[in-house]
A and B are shown apart, each in its own frame.
Chain A
Amino acid sequence: MNRRVVITGLGVVAPNGTGIPDFLQAIQNGVSGIRFNPQYEALNFNCQVSGVPVFEWNHLENYVTEVSFHGLKGQGIGYAIKAALDAWTDAGNTFDTENDTHWDTGCVFGNSVSDTSVIKNIIARVDAKEAKKLGSRVIEQVMNSGATAYISGRLGLGNKVITNSAACATGSQAVLMGYEYIKYGMAKRMLVGSTEHVDPYIFGAFDSMRVLSRKFNSVPGQASRPMSATAGGFIPGSGAGALVLEDLDFALARGASIYAEILGGANNSGGQRNGGSMTAPNNEGVIKCIEDAITNSNVNPHDIDLISGHLTATLADKMEIRNWVAALGTDSSKFPLTNSLKSMTGHCLSAAGSIECIAVALQIFHQFIHPNINLEDPNPEIVEMTGMDALPTACIKKEINIVAKANFGFGDVNTCLIFSKFRNNG
């Protein structure tokens, strides 16, 4: 099985940049997308900051038909449409409502919940005995497969069209699934990604779990602090990321430009055993996932130039680093450079994985390593394992070839992907 899978298109709606050029500039310059959220204050949340993308809703008129735009309300679906269609055009494709079905191209797009503002509208109408006023457009936006349905319908995608959901591992799982379908010959192209709407109901429930940061409400840009001694919880984030994955031969035949190659990956669960639970990973499962990804990708762990961690800014950061150390079989003198995009974006839940995979592809393509911001006070226990040089606080221009990217989610689910600089060696 020597099919190779490459990334040919990217589209992003992130708290610190909407569209690839803005996002690239933001991650190179360490720009935070975290801002004060007055709604969270009004709702008496402990955490009153969040990462909400700058998003011009009316621009969606350029992405969907006018009839479709009229009645479109789901924020997460809106993010997804923009990211996905931007990725599609970035890969050199066009779209219109008349093109034939692309039988060789599918879509895996994930989310954790459908848009609760749409759900709220349904509940209010039904409870007010006005169900018949809901109309025809709410089901398509409240169904879990809403984003996938809008994307695949707009582009005419006719291969597998799947909505995946694996909590915070959703985005990287979507990328892995798309990779596998191409690798095993089931599709030539897969549009993959995930979306998340920063939603007061979902994040209110996270707030209640005391896993959100609460001590940096007055300095939003400093609030997301992965790996720091003052990390006190994650920051609600939202957005969408989309990638066009493509069979290398198919991409070369149409003269596509290539950001990076995906060498392989792994997706597993710790089974909520041996210390694993609904909310905490079984470390054995995490280590196995990383090891399997490395084995499947046929790389040497010592060749990994960069770890793009899950690293949300909770107590779990330390455990995650410990698991990377165990999986890579390395010590602090050789620990790879490590960064967390969440220091700039907060934790975009389902969308985190896809947005972070985009950051990885951009770092490989443009050969740089984005900074960890808000890491003036690294956690000493983490530094002991990694060494301080492995945790860059400024952008580094450097040759990077192999990047490991992981995400871990509630339910004890893990995904790890191995990316590489693309080389056409025949």
Chain B
Amino acid sequence: MDRQSILEELKRVLTPYTANKEDLNSINDDTDLIKDLKINSANLIDIIIDAEAKYGIEIDADSAEKMSNVGSCINVIIEKMQQKEG
């Protein structure tokens, strides 16, 4: 799965946690989940749990801590999908 299609799926994961849906239209690797999308920091763990279910992966606590912006989320998802396949 390429970065662009993961980004599109990630948008769907982020939607229920993003108050202003329009903010999702212009997201890129640098979009910060808390600062730019105004996501409640407590919800980051829910996003990780939803992403684990969506991609059938396990995201350990150390990797989860890296997931602060869209780019780092995609990096971790790709890494975990590769580990799963490998």
The interface of chain A, by Cβ under 8 A from chain B, is 65-67, 70-71, 132-133, 135-137
Q: Separation in Å of the A62 CB from the closest CB of chain B?
A: 16
A-B contact list, 8 entries, CB within 8 Å: A65-B19, A67-B16, A67-B19, A71-B16, A132-B49, A133-B49, A135-B46, A136-B42
Other-chain contact of B45, A65, A67, A136 (Cβ < 8 Å): A136
Q: How far is the CA of A295 from the CA of B58 in the complex (A)?
A: 65
Chain A residue numbers with a CB within 8 Å of B16 are 66-67, 70-71
The answer to whether B18 touches A67, judged by C-beta atoms less than 8 angstroms apart, is yes
Main secondary structure of the interface of A (DSSP, over half): loop
- Please determine whether A136 and B43 come into contact, CB atoms closer than 8 angstroms: yes
Q: Which of B18, B19, B46, B52 contacts A137 (CB 8 A)?
A: B46
B residues apposed to A, CB below 8 Å:
16-19, 40, 42-43, 45-46, 49, 52
Q: Is the CB of A135 within 8 A of B18?
A: no
Instruction: Check A66/B49 contact, CB under 8 A, given A136-B42, A136-B43.
Output: no
How many Å from the CB of A142 to the closest CB on chain B?
Answer: 15
**A65 proximity list for chain B (CB < 8 A):** 19
Partner among A66, A67, A132, A133 whose Cβ is within 8 Å of the Cβ of B43: A67
Residue numbers in B under 8 Å from A70 (CB-CB): 16-17
Residue among A70, A132, A133 with the highest chain B CB neighbour number at 10 A: A132
Give the 6 A-B CB pairs with smallest separation, nearest first.
A70-B16, A136-B42, A135-B46, A135-B49, A136-B45, A136-B46
A67, B40: Cβ atoms under 8 Å? yes
A135-B49, A136-B46 known, 7 other contacts, Cβ within 8 Å: A65-B19, A67-B40, A70-B17, A71-B16, A132-B49, A133-B52, A137-B46
How far is A133 from B57 in the complex, measured between Cα atoms in Å? 12
Give chain A residues whose Cβ lies under 8 Å from the Cβ of B19.
Answer: 65-67
